A = this chain, B = another copy of it.
Amino acid sequence: MRILIVEDEKELSRSIVAYLKRENYVCDVADTVSSALDKTDSFDYDCIVLDISLVDGNGFQLLRELKTNNRADGVIILSARDSLDDRVTGLNLGADDYLSKPFHLSELNARIAALIRRKRFQGNRNLVYNELFIDLYAKTVTVHGNNVGLTRREFDLLLYLVSNKDRVISKNAIAENISGDSGASFDNFDFLYSHMKNLKKKLAAAGCRDYIRSVYGMGYKFTS
């Protein structure tokens, strides 16, 4: 799960990143509008946390550009205290949520979690595909009612595949999504193969049908 933080106060962005990393998100930071655009061009973030009052330009402008490129999906605005207008404008420009400064990191985290659940899973707590049952809150996967003990990466992997059901996902995309550190370029996908193998093995052992298919030369696909 990957998040872009657009914020020019170093101190704040650092503490946001520290917190969100511990919540197992992969975080990128942009401190100008142009670098934010660079990053959104090269990656499709699950969520963008945007400080609307950037110094180098207008946060609104960024939001507008994102919107015209259909990338305003999943934007949470950070607005200065008292600027009610900013919020309204932001929401009208397609932002999903806002938070006025100062805020608690836990609250930001809660909003991000809610946003991602809405975006990726229509706000559902559970996902069900026949015998396969995924509880997003308990972070458990059960097959025919028995718990399949998945590790964090395995769980993330399954979730990413499921949230792209019926679509072939490239190894790059998967790797970027589940690998802990951002900015990594992948010279091999051994770690992915490994997790994929373990995930499939565990699911199969629990009696789950083979929903995950590898597509030679392209990537992987989840089909129910």
Contact = CB atoms under 8 A, between A and B. Distances in A.
A205 interface: no
A106 B19 contact: no
A35 B182 CA distance: 32
A14 to B, nearest CB: 9
A22 B139 contact: no
A158 to B, nearest CB: 14
B103 A42 contact: yes
Interface residues of A, number: 53
A138 to B, nearest CB: 5
Contacts of A171: 22
A24 B104 contact: no
A110 B168 contact: no
Contacts of A37: 84
A163 to B, nearest CB: 13
A-B pairs with lowest CB-CB distance, top 3: A42-B103, A152-B217, A137-B167
B182 A167 contact: no
